[in-house]
């Protein structure tokens, strides 16, 4: 019961903290920073992004910094890398992260750093139609002067600490940077979270985390400012899972809620509520081969993984109702 009270208290603190922002932020850009919300790691993405509770190692820098303290295989160092491309390589997404556990003793501190990069190429720059010195092309369309690219970066650094046998806390800071043409933008933000071990018939993990908890910002070289409002996530996952022939099954359910209301973007309240829900399941065969599936904002996800000693290779297929499906491949190594 004490652990559940701690969960409730921490959730209230994170929620109230996310609301303590100046009233001047009311007119902020609604979808600023969306490029930093794609997700990292084949395992978590294949499980429908229901991964704030189960994440461990470097990928916790994105999902929930408390997961950095859940060091994989009791090794001191972990590194993770992910790469994906969409639309014939015009959209490139990369992640690399590193965590180091500072000691092998109980209650260790783990620190980590990471980099997220999203690059979009092939963006046409056209002649302004009101320019009297330029004419339209032969097809009566604006003339394309050149093609440019836009690059977004997020540098993350944080820590996770274990308290007791199954409780973990963590936080990180991130520096954001965007660049296109001669325009640049720079800003920063904070994330925080916790994972608690509880027992309710079966061993469970309960998580609560907040991304951009103090409202992150981007300051442009043009003088414009954009703000990224917080997201609050909470979830429950099976800790040890159910034993099955040859392996085990684990599952997670999570809800991620933006502080700003986005109900108007959905046709019904039920569609909006489903967009906040994340479901994920993983079946492991002899702790070497993995099959995964999930539901991410009403989109189906599938994936598989292979673990050979300290090396893990994970693949995720992410469907979408309107856009092309996405393929993600990630690598993890513990040493």
Residue 210, domain CATH: 2.40.160
- pLDDT mean over 177-197: 91
pLDDT for 10 beyond 60: no
pLDDT tens digit string along 206-248?
999 999 998 888 899 988 888 888 889 999 999 888 888 888 9
Residue 33, pLDDT score: 57
Dist. CA 60–CA 68, nearest whole Å: 5
Number of structural domains the chain divides into:
1
pLDDT at 7 over 50: no
pTM: 0.81
Give pLDDT, residue 124.
77
In this prediction, residues 269-295 reach a mean pLDDT of 88
Q: Is the pLDDT of residue 125 over 90?
A: no
pLDDT for res 72: 59
What is the pLDDT at residue 42?
A: 93
Q: What is the mean pLDDT of residues 268-278?
A: 78
Rounded to whole angstroms, what are the CA distances from 137 to 133, 143, 190? 13, 5, 48
Integer Cα distance of 266 and 136 in angstroms: 38
Predicted confidence band at 297 (pLDDT cuts at 50, 70, 90)? Answer: confident
Domain holding 86, by residue range, is 2-334
pLDDT value at 156 more than 70 = yes
Could you tell me what percent of the chain has a pLDDT over 90? 42
- Please give the sequence-ordered ranges of beta strands (E in DSSP) within 164-288, or none if there are none: 167-180, 183-200, 202-211, 216-220, 225-228, 231-238, 242-244, 247-258, 277-285
pLDDT band (50, 70, 90) for residue 287: confident
- Residue spans of beta strands (DSSP E) within 58-108: 77-86, 91-101
Mean pLDDT of 75-84: 89
Residue 3: pLDDT over 60: no
**pLDDT above 70: residue 201:** yes
Bridge partners (DSSP) of residue 293 are 281, 302
Q: What is the pLDDT of residue 40?
A: 92
> Looking at 90-99, 240-249, 267-276, 293-302, which range is the least confident one?
267-276
């Amino acid at each position: 019961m004490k652990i559940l009270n701690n969960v409730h208290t921490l959730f209230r603190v994170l929620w109230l903290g996310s609301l303590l922002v100046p009233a001047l932020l009311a007119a902020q850009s609604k979808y600023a920073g969306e490029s930093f919300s794609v997700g990292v790691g084949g395992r978590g993405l294949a499980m429908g992004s229901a991964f704030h509770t189960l994440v461990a190692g470097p990928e916790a820098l994105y999902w929930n910094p408390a997961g950095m303290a859940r060091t994989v295989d009791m090794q001191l160092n972990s590194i993770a890398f992910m790469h994906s491309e969409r639309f014939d390589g015009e959209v490139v997404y990369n992640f690399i992260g590193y965590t180091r556990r500072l000691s092998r003793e109980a209650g260790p501190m783990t620190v980590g750093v990471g980099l997220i990069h999203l690059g979009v190429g092939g963006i046409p720059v056209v002649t302004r139609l009101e320019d009297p010195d330029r004419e339209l092309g032969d097809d009566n369309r604006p003339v394309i002067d050149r093609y440019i690219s836009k690059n977004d970066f997020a540098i993350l650094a944080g820590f996770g600490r274990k308290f007791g046998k199954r409780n973990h806390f963590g936080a990180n800071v991130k520096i954001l940077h965007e660049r296109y043409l001669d325009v640049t933008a720079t800003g920063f933000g904070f994330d925080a979270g916790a994972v608690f071990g509880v027992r309710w018939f079966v061993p469970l993990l309960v998580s609560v985390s907040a991304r951009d908890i103090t409202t992150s910002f981007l300051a442009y070289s043009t003088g414009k400012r954009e703000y990224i409002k917080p997201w609050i996530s909470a979830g429950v996952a099976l800790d040890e899972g159910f034993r099955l022939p040859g392996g085990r099954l684990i599952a997670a359910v999570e809800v991620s809620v933006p502080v700003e209301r986005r109900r108007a973007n959905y046709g019904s309240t039920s569609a909006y509520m489903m967009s906040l829900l994340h479901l994920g399941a993983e079946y492991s065969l002899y702790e070497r081969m993995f099959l995964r599936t999930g539901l991410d904002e009403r989109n189906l996800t599938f994936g598989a993984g292979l673990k050979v000693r300290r090396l893990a290779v994970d693949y995720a297929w992410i469907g979408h109702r309107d856009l092309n499906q996405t393929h993600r491949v990630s690598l993890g190594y513990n040493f």
